[in-house]
Amino acid sequence: MATTLLEVENLTVRFPRLAAVQDLSFSVGVGETLAIVGESGSGKSITALALMRLVPPPGRITGGSIRFDGRELTALPDAAMRKVRGAEIAMIFQEPMTSLNPVLTIGRQIGETVRLHEGVSRRIARARAIELLDLVRIPEPHRRVDDYPHQLSGGMRQRVMIAMAVICRPKLLIADEPTTALDVTIQAQVLALLDNLRRELSMGLLLITHDLGIVGQWADRVVVMYASRKVEEGSPDAILDAPWHPYTQGLMAASPRHAGDLHYRRTPLVEIPGSITSAFGETGCPFVPRCALAEARCREVVPPPLSLGDHLVACVRHDPFKEAADVALAG
Amino acid sequence: MSNGTRVLKALRRSTLQAIPTLGVILVLNFFLLRLAPGDAAEVMAGEQGVATEESMAAMRKLFGLDIPVLDQFVAYINNLLHFSLGYSPRYGMQVEDLIAQRLPGSILLMGVALVFALGIGIFIGTVMARYVGRLPDRILSVVSLVFYSVPGFWIGLMMVVLFSVTLGWLPSGSDQTIGADYSGLEWLWDRVSHLILPALSLSLVFIAIYARLTRASMLESQGQDYVRTAAAKGLSPRAITFRHVLRNALLPVTTMAGLHFGTLLGGAVVVETVFSWPGLGRLAFESIMRRDFNVLLGILLLSSILVMIANVITDLVQAWLDPRIEVR
Amino acid sequence: MVDTSLAGGGLAAARPDQRPNAPVGSADREGSGPVLQIASAQAARVGGREVPSAVARPIARPGTLRILLRNPAAAVGLAILFTVAVVALLAPLVFPGDPLDIAGPALLRPGTNAAFPFGTDSLGRNVAAGLAHGARITLTIGLAAAGLGLLIGVLVGSVAGYFGGRLDDLLVKLTEIFQTVPPFVLMIVLVAIFQPTVPTIITAIGIVSWPGVARVVRAEFRSLRNKDFVVAARGLGFGHRRIIFREILPNALPPIIVTASVMVAGAILAESAMSFLGLSDANAVSWGSMIGMGREQIRTAWYLTAIPGIAIVLTVLALNLIGDGLNDALNPRLSRSR
């Protein structure tokens, strides 16, 4: 793996009545794409906001560390943190419709970032904005730069969001469900654009999504979150082809694109029974209420993450070492 | 379509729509005033103590009150078409000249009051929104509700007691020192010092309204996604408030401000009376008392036109502030 | 009350729920006289409210008063208003006779004579008696004028909103005309023309204060008129009058109630301003006319102006506190976001 850009260890984010993120650890290398996958409520979006130190009150980061490019972000003063946001870590959001300010031109909103962080003049900021609009492949950027958000389509708005995020050449780009609100045909274009920009600007990319379908094609590594915890981590191949955790297996079965075409045609779409909210406040594995394979010991403690190579799982039924040993003995 | 033609088109349309409304207002006002018992001749005769039948009849003939009401109406419309609002027997001059004399005073007073109201109101509202639920918000909420409950004329009188009578800092009436021959800065301060108390009295209620409205609409804007985007760019809370939240939050405030023009004019009647301010409001009140209906009709017509103009300006300002609105 | 949930379901689903379309030239042109300023701000917020649909549920909420009392600000408002009402009721007993009669030496300062706790005016009239009797006039005019304004506004707004079409256009135009003439100016014209007596003052305030209510009611009716329960009531052959007053109006009440409390406050302010200008019933003392008369002695006896003014402020403040409390109680969704 390349040099580590971002290293998150035991991150915990609490709201008064619940923990949104617990003991979460992962890392992103320079130029690497890490996907965090989970359904809504799993804590993945809060994780993204926590990296920016923008967890909405009354939530706050209560433990763990976020090391980014040699600095501990949880310990940075507010003013220093603001210099990181937008310049070194940038973020794009799920709803390009509402994430842009309706009363300001897109040129001004894109230019605002670079004016703030590089102190350039309004004229230069505008020129840079046009450049960036061209980079994200918006036609006629000279004309479009003076448009207001409501004059653009959803896909175009997301491109504007991306332009706004990368204008200062951040080292890490966090994309929180960047394609969820878009048409399927536009989704692929936006993801391809993100991937290109990642390579051109050698950014780390943290892709947050509930859609396993896009993971295989675009991610270098995958973290699966469930009910505020990481339940599995590995390469896309490992996760998609041989998931260990029952939750990931369920997700796979529920995802049409990766259930395999033949299989998909023959069997109806599988849904994981139950909902994620039932997990909070329980001891033991958070997935127990919905797990078809749960046993008595699953309810006792939260299963510790165990790994074999770069594939990691938090499930008592899977002990990678034991399995590896079994395989070795049997072989 | 360019911006200019868009605006012109909208203006023409509002004007066309305004004409029938104005017509109805004119007819209603005219006949409403003719319903009143007594006329200018009676009042003047009563004041002069000469009330012979002949002198009254002569006065009525002079004022055009001796012909049937319908003919009076036709005559009035005819006058209007020649851009004349009629003659005021009381003031001995054409009504349009009289109004032209008083209008600037009222516009100045109302304009300054509106600036006070918007400036102070938006400031208070912003502070309340920023400290929502905490002590500054609670205190200012009570203060603005008290402001909203205070009659403007009464707070005007109380300020006269404090600032004019007790402290002697500010004058208690008129729009300038009578007979003083100031120039330059002295003149300016004289005018400003006469303006402060009436403008504050008139603006108090509106300060409260805009403060509450700004607070509510800022709280709504603060929860919007684009605010999170701005924070993710690294903007400071202050820059977020001023560049992103406030601008969106002010949209409803500007609408309300434009629509308050008529109310402001009503407030001016009382405040101008309290401070002997030479304006349209006091003129309206005096002409009611003196049954000087030509003046009153003129003022009602003019103020209705002013309200309509204010509405159009509000629409244009809205369209300018909010790119999503197409000028109608 | 008819259970209409079954009858209406399918029908209503077929009709798109029409949102109130703004009339020409305005999204939120909540007119507002001097009477209705915050009411209009509130009305705008109230406009988007979701009303429980499917079943016509009368708004007879026994809990409203209790919720109101739990809100400390509204409880203070109720307490003040209650006190004013008691003073008004007891005025003839505590201060028998005409408060306009001379009662003692002139210009007694407050607190110097136990018989005249608030002092006497330049003619030796008892300020305390004036305050108590003035409370009667103030409350009478405030309640009656707001009631008249509500009546006209609800009638115009419900008919316009319910029937729509040409009638709606006409009534909207009428509302606009009334909002174009500056309300306070129209009010003093009316009072001056028909002579200032208590009934003419009430009528004048009522006539200028209805447009705001009409807009609120019209918007409510437009959003409610195609709900399941209304469609069902129509299907059952109910007449328009019954549908308007028995089916829709009860569901449109919350914003009307909030507007009403603020209207009373506005009517009291309007009355005080007019009587300050001398446009008051010559035979009755009112707080505004006390200020108007006290103004002559403002340099020497400022308390004559201050005391009745404080009475006005407290009463109006009480009504506004109650209005805010009602808004919170009747629109819980809104209050949470505040």
Would you say the C-alpha torsion B301, B307, B312, B316 has a positive or negative sign? positive
What per-residue confidence (pLDDT) applies to A275?
56
What per-residue confidence (pLDDT) applies to B7?
65
Q: Average pLDDT, whole number, for chain B?
A: 83
Query: pLDDT tens for residues B214-273?
Result: 998 998 888 888 999 999 998 988 889 888 888 888 888 888 888 888 888 888 889 998
Q: Two tokens at B173?
A: 């009436």
Rounded CA separation C158/C171 (Å)? 10
Query: pLDDT tens for residues C92-143?
Result: 887 777 777 776 776 777 777 777 777 777 777 888 888 888 899 899 999 9
Q: Two tokens at B23?
A: 């017509």
Please check whether residue C242 touches B, CB under 8 A. no
Task: Quote the domain boundaries for residue B174.
Answer: 101-321
Q: Which chains touch A (3 or more CB pairs under 8 A)?
A: B
| Cβ contact C276–B151 (<8 Å) | yes
Q: What is the DSSP letter of B240?
A: I
Beta bridge partners of C120: C126
Regarding chains B and A, contact by 3 or more CB pairs under 8 A is answered as yes
Q: Which of A83, A86, A103 has the CB atom closest to B247's CB atom?
A: A103
Residues ≥6 apart with Cβ < 8 Å to C6 = none
Task: Quote the domain boundaries for residue C129.
Answer: 63-337
CB A192 within 8 A of CB A24: no
Rounded CA separation A145/A133 (Å)? 8
Identify the residue with better confidence: A194 or B69: A194
Residues ≥6 apart with Cβ < 8 Å to C267 = C35, C141, C142, C143, C145, C146, C149, C205, C209
Distance from CA of residue C255 to its chain's centroid? 12
State the total domains in chain C. Answer: 1
Q: Which of A79, A85, A104 has the CB atom closest to B232's CB atom?
A: A85
CB A202 within 8 A of CB A259: no
Q: Are strands A306-308 and A311-313 parallel, antiparallel or unpaired?
A: antiparallel
Q: Is B55 contained in some domain?
A: no
pLDDT band at A257 (very low <50, low <70, confident <90, very high): low
What per-residue confidence (pLDDT) applies to C131?
87
> Which of A280-284, B129-133, B252-256 shows the lowest mean pLDDT across its residues?
A280-284
The pLDDT of A145-164, averaged and rounded, is: 88
Residue A259 has pLDDT above 70, yes or no: no
Please check whether residue A102 touches B, CB under 8 A. yes
Place of tokens 């794409």: A33
Q: Is C161 contained in some domain?
A: yes
Residue C88 has pLDDT above 50, yes or no: yes
Judged on CB neighbours under 10 Å (0-12, 13-18, 19+), C4 is: buried
Q: Average pLDDT, whole number, for chain A?
A: 82
Phi-psi region of A277 (alpha: psi -120 to 50; beta: other; left: phi over 0): alpha
User: Which secondary-structure segment (H or E) carries A322?
Assistant: helix A320-330
What per-residue confidence (pLDDT) applies to C5?
33
Identify the residue with better confidence: C10 or A295: A295
| Cβ contact A54–B230 (<8 Å) | no
Where are chain A's structural domains? Answer: 246-331
> Which of A55-64, C41-50, C175-184 shows the lowest mean pLDDT across its residues?
C41-50
CB B261 within 8 A of CB B310: yes
> Which of A186-190, B53-57, C25-29 shows the lowest mean pLDDT across its residues?
C25-29
Q: Two tokens at A87?
A: 């310049």
Q: Which of B33, B252, B262 has the CB atom closest to C193's CB atom?
A: B33
Distance from CA of residue B123 to its chain's centroid? 22
* Residue numbers in C near B40 (CB within 8 A): none
Count CB atoms within 10 A of the CB of residue B30.
Answer: 18
pLDDT band at C13 (very low <50, low <70, confident <90, very high): very low
pLDDT band at C171 (very low <50, low <70, confident <90, very high): very high
CA distances from A71 to A4, A49, A67, A68, A204 (A): 12, 18, 5, 5, 16
**Residue C142: HSE in the Cβ half-sphere, 13 Å Cα cutoff:** 28
The contacts found for A186-195 with CB under 8 angstroms, 24 or more apart, are A186/A154, A186/A155, A186/A158, A187/A214, A189/A155, A190/A155, A190/A158, A190/A159, A190/A162, A191/A217, A191/A218, A193/A136, A193/A137, A193/A159, A193/A162, A194/A162, A194/A218, A195/A33
Q: Is C24 contained in some domain?
A: no
Q: Is B191 contained in some domain?
A: yes
What per-residue confidence (pLDDT) applies to B38?
66
Q: Is B31 contained in some domain?
A: no
* Residue numbers in C near B213 (CB within 8 A): 41
pLDDT band at B19 (very low <50, low <70, confident <90, very high): confident
What per-residue confidence (pLDDT) applies to A256?
58
| Cβ contact C25–B311 (<8 Å) | yes
Closest to C177 (Cα-Cα) out of C14, C47, C50, C29: C29
Rounded CA separation A145/A160 (Å)? 10
Rounded CA separation C87/B14 (Å)? 51
State the total domains in chain B. Answer: 1
Nearest Cα of chain B lies from the Cα of C158 at a distance, in angstroms, of 23
Please check whether residue A112 touches B, CB under 8 A. yes
- Chain A's closest residue to B320, CA to CA, is A103
Q: Two tokens at A49?
A: 């906001």
Residue A278 has pLDDT above 60, yes or no: no
What per-residue confidence (pLDDT) applies to A297?
77
Q: Is C54 contained in some domain?
A: no
Identify the residue with better confidence: C25 or C136: C136
Q: Which chains touch B (3 or more CB pairs under 8 A)?
A: A, C
Q: Which of B21, B252, B270 has the CB atom closest to C177's CB atom?
A: B21
Range from A125-134, B246-255, C223-232, C321-330 that averages highest in pLDDT: A125-134
Q: Which of B263, B300, B324, B327 to mutate to test the interface with C (most CBs of C within 10 A)?
A: B263
Query: pLDDT tens for residues B157-212?
Result: 999 888 888 888 888 777 777 777 777 787 888 888 889 999 999 999 999 999 99
* Residue numbers in B near A101 (CB within 8 A): 226, 229-230, 244, 247-248
Count CB atoms within 10 A of the CB of residue B203.
Answer: 28
| Cβ contact B270–C44 (<8 Å) | no
Q: Where are the alpha helices (DSSP H) in chain B?
A: 3-34, 40-48, 53-63, 69-81, 95-130, 135-149, 152-159, 184-222, 225-232, 237-239, 246-259, 261-274, 280-289, 293-321
What per-residue confidence (pLDDT) applies to A271?
55
Rounded CA separation A275/A287 (Å)? 10
Residue C56 has pLDDT above 50, yes or no: no
Closest to C186 (Cα-Cα) out of C213, C157, C206, C156: C206
The pLDDT of B108-112, averaged and rounded, is: 92
Q: Which of B233, B236, B323 has the CB atom closest to A113's CB atom?
A: B233
What per-residue confidence (pLDDT) applies to B3?
54
pLDDT > 90 fraction of chain C, expressed in percent and rounded:
24
User: Which secondary-structure segment (H or E) carries A207?
Assistant: strand A204-209
- Adjacency order of strands within the sheet including A33-37: A89-92, A172-176, A204-209, A33-37, A221-226, A229-234, A311-313, A306-308
DSSP helix/strand/coil, C211: helix
At B98, the amino acid letter reads L
CB C161 within 8 A of CB C168: yes
CB C106 within 8 A of CB C293: no
CB B271 within 8 A of CB B153: yes
CB C149 within 8 A of CB C209: yes
pLDDT > 70 fraction of chain A, expressed in percent and rounded:
86
Count CB atoms within 10 A of the CB of residue B192.
Answer: 12
Please, which residues 233-292 of chain B have a Cβ atom closer than 8 Å to chain A? 233-236, 239, 243-244, 247-248, 251
- Chain C's closest residue to B202, CA to CA, is C34
Q: Two tokens at C26?
A: 């305005």
Residue A320 has pLDDT above 50, yes or no: yes
What per-residue confidence (pLDDT) applies to C46?
33
| Cβ contact C182–B260 (<8 Å) | no
Please check whether residue B220 touches A, CB under 8 A. no
Q: Which of C177, C190, C298 has the CB atom closest to B25's CB atom?
A: C177
The pLDDT of C273-302, averaged and rounded, is: 86
> Which of A161-170, A284-293, B309-318 shows the lowest mean pLDDT across its residues?
A284-293
> Which of A170-174, A268-272, A291-295 shows the lowest mean pLDDT across its residues?
A268-272
Count H helices and E strands in chain C, helices first.
Answer: 14, 0
At A166, the amino acid letter reads V
CATH code: domain of residue B151: 1.10.3720.10
What per-residue confidence (pLDDT) applies to C8?
30
- Kindly provide the b/e burial profile for residues A309-330, where b requires at least 16 CB atoms within 10 angstroms of the residue's own CB: eebbbbbbbbeeeeeeeeeeee
DSSP helix/strand/coil, C311: helix
CB A46 within 8 A of CB A11: no
CB A89 within 8 A of CB A138: no
Please, which residues 20-39 of chain C have a Cβ atom closer than 8 Å to chain B? 24-34, 37-38
CATH code: domain of residue C107: 1.10.3720.10
Q: Which chains touch C (3 or more CB pairs under 8 A)?
A: B
- Chain C's closest residue to B150, CA to CA, is C313
| Cβ contact C25–B17 (<8 Å) | yes
Q: Two tokens at B124?
A: 């208070």
The pLDDT of A134-154, averaged and rounded, is: 88
Nearest Cα of chain A lies from the Cα of B254 at a distance, in angstroms, of 15
- Kindly provide the b/e burial profile for residues B230-239, where b requires at least 16 CB atoms within 10 angstroms of the residue's own CB: bbbbbbeeeb
Q: Is C16 contained in some domain?
A: no
| Cβ contact B234–A95 (<8 Å) | no
Alpha carbon dihedral A231, A233, A239, A242, in 10-degree steps, equals -70
| Cβ contact C185–B212 (<8 Å) | no
